[in-house]
Structure 1
Amino acid sequence: MTMSQQLANRFREVVLDGKWVSNTNFKDQLENLPFEKVIKRKGSLNSIAVLSQHIHYYIAGVKNVLEGGTLDIKDAYSFDFPPMETQVQWETFLNKLWADAEAFALLVEQLPNSKLAESFVDKRYGTYQRNIDGIIEHCYYHLGQIVLIKKMLSEKER
C-alpha cells in the first residue's frame, strides 16, 4: 500500500467509517442525531452543527487544491456559517460532507508519493503530506469535541 493510500484510509477512518483510533467517526456521531442537539450550544462551546461545518470548510478547501484549483480558505472565516434552521438543511449538509470527504479521500489516494513531499500551494504551508496529516489530526480534534458535547447535552436531559 502506498503512503497516499494509507493517508486516504486514515482520513476515511476519522470521517466516514473507522473505529481504530477513537472507536468512532464523524459519520457515526452525526447521522441520526436529533436536529435540536445539532444546533444546541452548551455554554460558550460551538454547536455540533458549527463544528461539523468548520471541518467541512477545510476538507472542501483542500479538496479544491487537490482538484487543481486554488487555496481559497482562510482561518478567519472557518467558523462563519449561516445558522442551520431545519432538519432538511442539516441532512443536505451531511450528504455534502460525506460526498466531499469521499472525493477528498479518492484524490489523496491517487496522489503519487512524490507529490506528498512537494510544497502545498506555497512553501510556507509545508508539504502535501503535512497538510493531509493536518486535516486528519484536525478532524480527530473536533471529533473529540463533538463526542463530549453530545455527552454534555445528554447529561442535561437526565
Structure 2
Amino acid sequence: MSTTLQLAKRFREVLLDGLWIANTNFKDQLSDVSWEHATTKIGSLNTIAMLTFHIDYYIAGLINVFEGGDLEIRDKYSFDLPAVKSQEQWETLVNKLFSDAEKFASLLEQMPDAKMNESFVDEKYGTYLRNIDGMIEHCYYHLGQITLIKKLLIN
C-alpha cells in the first residue's frame, strides 16, 4: 500500500471510522453530543464545540493547500468559533468536520508518494509528510480531550 493511502487510512481512522489506536474516533464520540453539552464549559477546558471547530479549521486550511491555494490559516484564529445556539448549528459544525475530513482523505489518496517529501508551502513548515502526520497526531490529542470532557459532563 502506498504511503499516501496509508496516511489517508490513518486519518479516516481518527476522524471517521477507526478503533485501532483509541478504540474510538471523532464520529463515534460526537454522535450523541447535544448542542447544550457541546457548548458547556468545564473550568478552563475548551468546550467540545470549540475543539470540533479547531480541528476542522486546520483540516480545511490544509485542504486549501492540497487544492493549490495558499496556507491562510493562523493559530490565533483556530478557536474563533461563532456562537452555537441550537442543535441545528451544532449539527452543521459536526457535519462540516466530517465532510472536510473525507475530502482531506480523498485528496491525500490522490497525491503521489513523492509529494510527501516535498516542502509544505515553505521549508520552515517541513514536508507534506510531517504536516499530515502532525494533523493525525493533533486529531488524536483533541479526540482524547473530547472523550474526557464527555465523561466529565455525564458525571
Shift of 1:32: 2.5
Distance 2:95 2:48 in 1: 16
Q: What amino acid sits opposite 2:61 in the alignment?
A: G
Q: Distance in 1 between matches of 2:36 and 2:95?
A: 18
Q: Which runs of 5+ in 1 are unaligned?
A: none
Letter in 1 for 2:24: T
Q: Is the 8 A contact 2:35 2:85 kept in 1?
A: no
**Matching residue's letter, 2:83:** P
Q: Tell me the SS of whatever aligns to 1:148.
A: helix
Q: Does residue 79 of structure 1 match 2:76? A: no
**What runs of 5+ residues in structure 2 fail to find an aligned partner?**
none
Map of 2:27 onto structure 1: 27
CA distance in 2, matches of 1:77, 1:40: 21
Specify the code of the residue in structure 1 equivalent to 2:60. Answer: A
Aligned to 1:58: 58
Q: Given residue 18 of structure 1, which amino acid in structure 2 is its aligned partner? A: G
Do the aligned partners of 2:8 and 2:108 also contact (CA within 8 Å) in 1? yes
**Alignment RMSD:** 0.7
Paired amino acid for 1:78: S
Write the mapping of 1:136-155 to structure 2, written as runs, cut at 5 A. Answer: 136-155=136-155
Q: Which has the larger displacement, 89-98 or 12-21? A: 89-98
Q: TM-score, normalised by structure 2?
A: 0.98
Check whether the contact 2:61–2:73 (CA below 8 A) recurs between aligned residues.
yes
Question: Using the alignment, how far apart are the partners of 1:114 and 1:47 within structure 2?
Answer: 38
Q: For the residues of structure 1 that align with 2:61 and 2:88, how far apart are their CA atoms?
A: 24
Identity %: 63
Structure 1 consecutive aligned stretches of length 4 or more whose deviation exceeds 4 Å: none
Q: How many residues align?
A: 155
How far, CA to CA, are the matches of 2:122 and 2:38 in structure 1? Answer: 36
